[in-house]
A and B are shown apart, each in its own frame.
Chain A
Amino acid sequence: MRLHHHTHPDHHPGAQPAVVVAVAIGGAGGAAARYGAERIWPTGASAFPWTVLLVNTVGCFLMGVLMVTSKLRFPGSPRLISPLLGTGVLGGFTTFSHYTDNVRQLFENGRPGYAVGCLLLTVVAALAAVTAGAFAAHFVLGRGYAAQDGTR
């Protein structure tokens, strides 16, 4: 099935070296920020992984804000801003692999309730957060969300 070409603010035609560098720098910063959060609020292998859940929720909210803001308010912003902050910082800050690894470890450590709770709660929190971030940016920037929904 060939669908129409779908443009996304994260994606640019071709891999431009400057964009790769921007994503790398942002990703390093995002990963370090997540590591900082894990050092401040460590969670054991059998405890509920609140820190990773919080990191992912905050990152999804900020991605909703960033994408809508850059589209509505800064459509002509430098082409490295979105890769740096979105794909880089927020992509490196949030983590899908630590989420799945937490779920696996909770199952293996005899905490199936926590495992299923983490599995589902993360999905709900991430989707609610990215939606809330997008709505908040639309609201603050004074445009109706329905008129400018996520399609382009």
Chain B
Amino acid sequence: MTDWLLVLAGGLAGAPLRYLLGVDAKFRLHTAFPWGTFAANASAALLLGFFSEAVTDGELGPRLQLLLATGFCGALSTWSTFSYELLTFASARRLSMAAGYLVLTVGAGVGLSFAGAAVAGAVR
């Protein structure tokens, strides 16, 4: 029961933070590029790399893992909105925008995951 509550609590914080990043980016930047979703996915990838390595090293217990990794980072990041944004670009014939957004997000995400894990390993 506690396990589920921890995941729910993490999701309760992560999803609205992603939404607020989207609103903020839209108002600040006024571009078609979804910087809000990008910021949410990139920061979640960095944080989860850190938390995941901390779990591997035994520094982060199973409860914090459910709250921070499964709940918070899982809900802060998204594939569904990301994929729909890509489809929107593609169906508007903005293929270079779609390809750039895809490569930038996936490249930054994997790179930041390694970076987060490296930081966790270094501060151990």
Interface residues of chain A, those whose CB is within 8 Å of chain B, are 1-6, 8, 10-12, 14-15, 19-21, 23-32, 34-35, 38, 56, 59-60, 62-64, 67, 83, 86-88, 90-101, 103-105, 108, 119, 122-123, 126-127, 129-131, 134, 149-151
Do the beta carbons of A31 and B71 come within 8 Å of each other? yes
Do the beta carbons of A101 and B15 come within 8 Å of each other? no
In the bound complex, residues from chain A placing their C-beta under 8 Å from that of B14 are: 27, 31, 92
Which listed residue, B3, B15, B113, touches A30 by the CB 8 Å rule? B15
Do the beta carbons of A14 and B23 come within 8 Å of each other? yes
Within 8 A of A (CB), among B99-114: 102, 105-106, 109-110, 112-114
Best-buried of A28, A60, A83, A94 by chain B (most CB within 10 Å): A28
- When C-beta atoms are compared, the residue in chain B nearest to A98 turns out to be B74
* Chain B window 56-75, contacts with chain A (Cβ cutoff 8 Å), 1 for yes, 0 for no: 00000000001001110111
> How far, in whole Å, are A18 and B47 apart by their CA atoms in the complex?
28
Instruction: Classify the interface of chain B: helix, strand, loop or mixed.
Output: helix
Sample (16) of A-B pairs whose CB atoms are under 8 Å apart: A2-B31, A8-B85, A14-B23, A15-B19, A15-B20, A21-B16, A23-B16, A31-B8, A32-B11, A35-B70, A86-B81, A87-B15, A87-B22, A97-B113, A100-B110, A101-B113
- Shortest 7 CB-CB contacts between residues of A and residues of B: A27-B15, A31-B11, A150-B91, A96-B77, A97-B44, A63-B80, A97-B77
> How far, in whole Å, are A97 and B41 apart by their CA atoms in the complex?
6
Taking the nearest CB of chain B, how far is it from the CB of A71, in angstroms? 11
Do the beta carbons of B15 and A96 come within 8 Å of each other? no
The number of chain B residues with a CB under 8 A from chain A is 64
> How far, in whole Å, are A150 and B90 apart by their CA atoms in the complex?
8
> How far, in whole Å, are A103 and B114 apart by their CA atoms in the complex?
10
Taking the nearest CB of chain B, how far is it from the CB of A130, in angstroms? 4
Do the beta carbons of A104 and B114 come within 8 Å of each other? yes
Do the beta carbons of B75 and A127 come within 8 Å of each other? no
Q: 18 extra interchain contacts, Cβ-Cβ under 8 A, other than A87-B22, A94-B79?
A: A3-B31, A5-B30, A23-B18, A28-B7, A29-B8, A30-B11, A32-B11, A35-B7, A35-B66, A63-B83, A64-B84, A90-B81, A92-B74, A96-B44, A97-B48, A99-B79, A100-B48, A150-B87
